Chain A
Amino acid sequence: MIKWKSLGTLAGLVLAALALMFGTTSMAQAADEGGGDDILKIGWAQDPQTLNPFVGLDEEDFTIWAINWDLLVNFDPVDLSPSPGIAESWEVSDDKKTITFKLPEGHKWSDGEPVTSEDVKWTLENLATEGELFTSYTNNVTSIETPDPQTVVIKTKKPDARIIGGLLIYILPEHIWGKVPKDELTTTYQPSLPLVGTGPFIVTEFDRGRIIEMDRNPEFAGDKPKLDQIQFIKYGNQDAVERALQLGEIDVDPEVSAATFDNLADKPDIGVVKSPSPSFTELAFNVCPESECPDAEFNPAIQDKAVRQAIAYSVDREKINEIANRGTSFVANGLLPSYYQDFYQEPEQTYPFDPEKANQILDDAGYTREGDGIRSKDGDELSFNLYVRSESPSNIQAAKLVAEMAREVGIEFKVEVVSVDKLTELTIRQENGKPAPAFDSFIWGWGGDAYDPSFLLSLMTTGEIGGSSDAFYSNPEYDKLFEEQAGSFDTEERKDTIRQMIDLLQEDVPYLVLSEDPNLQAYRTDRLGEVDVACPEGDGDLFCEQAGYEPLLSLTTTGGSDGSSDDDGGGGSGVLIAIIAVVVIAGVAFLVIRSRRRGGEALEEDEPAEGEEPMEEPEEPEEPAEDEK
């Protein structure tokens, strides 16, 4: 009798486990099919904290905004050059200070309201002054006029090419945002959903920390997108995103980490994309002149151009890329990343790795090696602090490599790993109302705008000292050239001016740009097929992330459409039945064990072997049963 019962218990538990497995599988299928809709699933470990561009600060925010809204002038997916956005055409006056934009007739917001010049004016006058990430784009704008609903006239105090190619301000519907009080816009305002826009998909669900759903915009002016919906799914960490991709739970991982990129590339059904981006990592030097920063703290030797040039020759940037960035970056040559195809030229001076040359320069400059191998001149030892952020393991590694390499030519870098806050403090430090940076060198990075290079170039202008400049470089010739390129609407002419600017920087070396940081993405080839990258064509990413939405129009998930249109709830109730079954069976099993105990208690003590069976088994199955609670 006892034997039979324990056998029954065992059978019950096995059944329960089977039922659970079965239920689970049917659920997974139901979830995959998702009602037969063509849904693109993108996973990420960081999601936007707000949809309000007045307060949003994160990269991920841009990813959503760039799909939901248009710019006044969009970026062409082929070469990122200016292409029709909210405006279909534009004209520059002869003095280049007046630009007239024409809006197309019949263009509508997703709620059916017409898109007018008032929307543009309101956005440029509000988002561009109050939005934390959008200020300064309109610094040169003196007036915005709207002679009719289809025309916007922008006047600037000096020619500014960014008004066409770099006005990174998403045009918002004035009839919605204009009604919100300004102090609410810049603090707690959360737009209601669906998020009215002009892009191909608009946000219909925003469950922060979990999911963002974007559905097709019924009023979208371009070709109807093939996808029905895009889902951005938030995971707890980057590993979880990559696992979800490998398991096929998501279709795209837009931010693969350098450490796992090669590994993912080898996996079946997974395609990877490595594309240049407008961001770089640099070794920055404190070159602040006395006049700008009288109280700066640094080793004066760092301000000797010869020393910085020698450092540049002594550092093997290829090796840093190979080791610190696992070969995923692009070796940089100068301040402007090669990503800026229209404006980039390889500078004449690229500082190839050449320790001989470095030694030569230092010898010529009169720095001689001391007993410990570190060079010095007139008591000034070539020993510098090198700050690096604790949150970036690859930067820390790069710093150690720099120190190792420079040591070979007699220059010492003392690597100090600090928090972002600490490094910020050192760079923005002020004394008596003037900048007083307290460092010799550091490693950090910058990211530029999608097409127009002005932002990155502005980092080296005297005007940015006390602003964004963190090498505190000041060179009147550079400043003059900067103004010239910023006002140039002729790409070839502008490219030439920029080349001269980069040459000046390569000579003076306020930054030694170590690497151009790539966008690393991965996707399911069994779901999306082979995707042609865009922005720019052939050398860009999967969906023009943050620079547009063009590739999303033709993207489709092959797996999604041929599944049967099974109701989602069907699988769910299967699981439910399974779980109820487990609960019931576990309950019965419990009673059986209990009653057997009661009945056979006399035996219990003498036959401990008996007790072993029920005891070890419930461990696994009991948990799902309890989970019901």
Chain B
Amino acid sequence: MSARWLTGKVAAAILTLVFVVIFNFFLFRVMGDPTTQLARLPQSTPDEIEKLKADYGLDKPLLGQFADNVGDTVRGDLGISQKSRQPVVDEILDALPWTLLLVGTGTLIATLLGSWMGVIAATRRGQKTDDAMLGFSMFTYASPEYWIGIILILVFAVWIPILPSGLQVTPGVEFSSWLAEAADVAEHLILPATAMTLMLLGQYFLIMRSSMVDVLTEDFITVKRATGQRWDRVVRKHAVPNALLPLVTLSAIQFGAVVGGAITIETIFSWPGLGELTFQAINDKDFPVLQGTFLIFSFGVILANLLADILYFYLDPRVQTK
């Protein structure tokens, strides 16, 4: 991989990130003075409001606040939550693993299952299997994730009560070992991860299927077949790698949507990740926390795009030759 190419990509990513930091800061400042809501507290005096403003550095001019903010962000200090009075970084680090677990599991299964189904459907185009998969994917793709979530809860927690309806672990239980706890978490993960998977599956499937259909009609496939190679080998060695490219792009672009979906799914399933943290912060108008989660989400999307670029480098030899 050429160093220059990589440097360019990384620089672009960093530039985007800088823009995000700036935008993020001013976005929350145009939304109004965060202390006005505190004024409604019973018996709060103007002095107290001034004190609150000083506590959060809101008494400084906007540019001064911005300079502070950038400095702190670079140092990894995202400020103090207005609600819990704890460092925002701690709040995020507390929630991040749960989101990674949920989003990771959901995305992984959706990618694997979606692309696998895509290959199968494409090789059996027009047959019953294809129709069934297409119908199923269209259905899940068109269904809003909160609806899927509620239906899953209704079926597997209310009608056939075999799975917990929410939370990440059975509350208040002392586990005899970490294994028992992991099992409990896994059990709680099933429904939200399924919802996540169903939310993403349709798109991955459709992209993979159409991409495969395209590739399979290309001349080199016909040539390969004509050389007498086994069909499944042609599909696996020649068609799938070529069809994977759009999927990689999609995964990266999708990351933003995944995060958005995580907010809904985590809230429905009371899953204590970044999504729920964001939802609560919106309810509480906890601007430092919101600013922090927005930053993390943007960072995630930028990172995902960068990784996709690098992955492209390996997957698509055409990129390397340029």
Contacts and interface: CB of A to CB of B under 8 A. Distances in A.
Given A424-B37, A601-B230, A468 B179 contact: no
Contacts of A234: 270, 272
Given A27-B187, A467-B45, A622-B113, A231 B172 contact: yes
Interface stretch (A130-138, A288-296, A372-380, A532-540): A130-138
B276 to A, nearest CB: 6
A604 B109 contact: no
Nearest to B264: A236
Contacts of A627: 105, 186, 189-190, 193
A612 B171 CA distance: 41
A626 B108 contact: yes
Interface in A183-238: 187-188, 190, 208-211, 213, 229, 231, 233-237
A569 interface: yes
Contacts of A211: 171-172
A24 B171 contact: no
A423 B105 CA distance: 43
B194 interface: yes
Contact of B40 (A208, A246, A424, A605): A424
Contact of B170 (A27, A567, A623): A27
- B contacts with A: majority SS: helix
A483 B172 CA distance: 49
Q: In the complex, which range does the number of interface residues on chain B fall in?
A: 35 or more
Contact of B166 (A35, A240, A598): A240
Given A21-B162, A25-B162, A424-B39, A568 B272 contact: no
Given A231-B172, A598-B232, A615-B133, 5 more contacts: A244-B165, A568-B173, A569-B176, A569-B177, A609-B128
A425 B182 CA distance: 49
A306 interface: no
A41 B173 CA distance: 12
B186 A579 contact: yes
In this complex, which of A52, A133, A231, A247 has the most chain B Cβ atoms within 10 angstroms of its Cβ? A247
B197 interface: yes
A20 B123 CA distance: 33
B186 A136 contact: no
Interface in B147-194: 153, 157-158, 161-168, 170-177, 179-184, 186-187, 189-190, 193-194
Interface string B103-114: 011001100110
Contact of B153 (A34, A231, A243): A243
B220 interface: no
B295 interface: no
22 contacts: A28-B164, A35-B174, A133-B43, A188-B86, A210-B272, A231-B171, A235-B167, A421-B32, A422-B32, A446-B42, A455-B43, A467-B45, A572-B181, A573-B180, A575-B183, A579-B186, A579-B187, A601-B231, A608-B129, A612-B129, A622-B109, A623-B190
Interface in B53-100: 55, 80-81, 83-86, 94-95
A145 B161 CA distance: 61
A189 to B, nearest CB: 8
A507 B111 CA distance: 69
A240 to B, nearest CB: 5
A490 interface: no
A21 B267 CA distance: 25
A463 B186 CA distance: 59
Contacts of A133: 41-43
Contacts of B230: 601-602
Contact of B105 (A35, A246, A626): A626
Nearest to B170: A31
B81 to A, nearest CB: 7
Contact of A240 (B43, B165, B189): B165
